[in-house]
Structure 1
Amino acid sequence: MISKNTVCLWFNKDAQEAAEFYASIFPDTAVTAVHRAPGDYPAGKEGEVLTVEFTVMGIPCLGLNGGDGFKHNEAFSFQVATEDQAETDRLWNAIVGNGGQASACGWCKDRWGISWQITPRVLSEAITDPDRAAAKRAFEAMMEMGKIDVAKIEAARRG
């Protein structure tokens, strides 16, 4: 059954490869269907993979092999709440270590250009702390990081 609301992600010709990669690293993620083009289209030929239905941590997605006309950017990202440093490291390293690119403040891009925010829950709690001084210290520590360091965020929050 098709979801009422689905995230559609534009790929050149590798939507299936991307969906299978996501399924290999994220929990509650799976490729659910692969559809081939019923005829030729501007970016491909009849019989080639046109769309891929998949979920990313339970979120329904559709990968569209639409060609190289559009590129991903940071205006869209998946934000992944991690429980600890080990999970943060595992996900960050999987994305960056497989052709991705590190960025700042917990952001990175996978090799297809999709942006991910690998965000430990500790960080979210720290920067929303009712103690504004503690929140500011944690925020300032985050601003100096690429991959988030949970211990440094906790230390900054404590002062």
Structure 2
Amino acid sequence: MALTQKVSTHLWFDDGAEEAARFYTSLLPNSRIESVLQFDRAKNLYGVVFILAGQEYRALNAGPMFKLNQAVSLWVKCDDQAEIDRIWDAILKNGGKEQACGWVQDKWGLCWQVIPTALEKMLGGPDEAARNRVLQAVWGMIKLDIAKLEDAYRGAAA
């Protein structure tokens, strides 16, 4: 079924757009490759349309003029620690690099924020002291740990 989404994120790759799209769609449910568009076979110039967690993305294999960086990232809401661990570990095993505060950069340079769904509730809660404890906990982590964030929210000793 084709999406009727009017706006899509477009990702520029030096090389490997199709490989990246296939990897990305393996990480999340409701994801698939829609099409691969060959523009110039001799120059290895092509595009990929893919669905990631129900949202359309486009990727272009277009050369080294532009690089992916932390200015744009994918925010992935995870329901539990197992989902965080699965996505995080898959990105690392595929050549990714850990970064602070729940960020991990894949081998193509795209950054992912692998975030527990509960974090938004904690940071949006009415207790300012609890929110500050959670932020301090996040700032001290690489991969986010839901149990430690919940402890921080409750004010439990580490």
TM over 0.5: yes
The match for 1:136 is 132
- Can you give the 5+ residue segments of structure 1 that lack an aligned partner in the other structure? none
Equivalent residue runs for 1:68-107 within 5 Å: 68-107=64-103
| Paired residues of 1:101 and 1:110 also in contact (CA < 8 A) | yes
| Paired residues of 2:50 and 2:57 also in contact (CA < 8 A) | yes
| Paired residues of 2:45 and 2:62 also in contact (CA < 8 A) | no
The match for 1:125 is 121
CA displacement, residues 32-91 of structure 1 (integer Å, 9 cap, x when unaligned): 000112x4xxxx626x45101101111111110110111111110110100010001001
Shift of the alpha carbon at 1:102?
Answer: 0.5
Which deviates more from structure 2 when the two are superposed, residues 143-152 or residues 122-131? Answer: 122-131
Give the match's secondary structure for 1:69: coil
The match for 2:53 is 57
Give the match's secondary structure for 1:8: strand
- Find 1:67's aligned residue among 63, 69, 82: 63
The match for 2:35 is 33
Give the match's secondary structure for 2:66: coil
Figure out how many residues of one structure are paired with residues of the other and give that number.
Answer: 153
The match for 1:24 is 26
RMSD of Structure 2 on Structure 1 (CA)? 1.5
Aligned residue identity for 1:45: A
Superposition misfits of 4+ residues, deviation over 2 angstroms = none
CA displacement, residues 69-120 of structure 1 (integer Å, 9 cap, x when unaligned): 1111111011010001000100111112210010011111111000110000
Q: Percent identity?
A: 41
Alignment partners' CA distance in 2, 1:57 and 1:102: 22
| Paired residues of 1:77 and 1:117 also in contact (CA < 8 A) | yes
Aligned residue identity for 2:22: E
- Can you give the 5+ residue segments of structure 2 that lack an aligned partner in the other structure? none
| Paired residues of 2:105 and 2:111 also in contact (CA < 8 A) | yes
| Paired residues of 1:34 and 1:49 also in contact (CA < 8 A) | no
The match for 2:42 is 45
- TM normalised by structure 1 equals 0.91
Give the match's secondary structure for 2:47: strand
Aligned residue identity for 1:120: P
